Amino acid sequence: MIAANEKDRFKSRITGNIYQVKRIVNQSIVLESLNGKSQVLTELDNIALFYEREPKKDEDQGRRNSPEYKGCDAVGADYIKPKA
């Protein structure tokens, strides 16, 4: 089981949509899309199966400032393009 807190963000492995944790009650979790137009109610155990955690802004910045990313002009989760 993945630990989740309110305001954490998860990306659906099926649709690719990003959701933010709105509320956790007992073993149930409410995920809300970033645009606020849809919600998903599921059990906490399903998070590990159908969702992957999105990095927080400060975690992402730390990764971008790491030595492996120095000298790159484009950085993505799976993409590094070295400067020519």
Local confidence pLDDT in tens for the 84 residues of the chain: 678 889 999 999 999 999 999 999 999 999 999 999 999 999 999 999 999 999 877 655 555 555 555 555 554 445 555 555
Give the count of domains, the chain. 1
Angle at 21 between CA 46 and CA 17, to 5 degrees: 70
Q: What is the pTM of this model?
A: 0.64
Q: Report how far residue 31's alpha carbon sits from residue 10's, in angstroms, rounded to the nearest whole number.
A: 8
State residue 4's pLDDT score: 87
**Structural domain harbouring 62:** 9-77
Residue 20 falls within a domain, yes or no? yes
Cβ atoms of 56 and 63 within 8 Å: the answer is no
Residue 82 falls within a domain, yes or no? no
State residue 58's pLDDT score: 62
State residue 10's pLDDT score: 95
Residue 59 falls within a domain, yes or no? yes
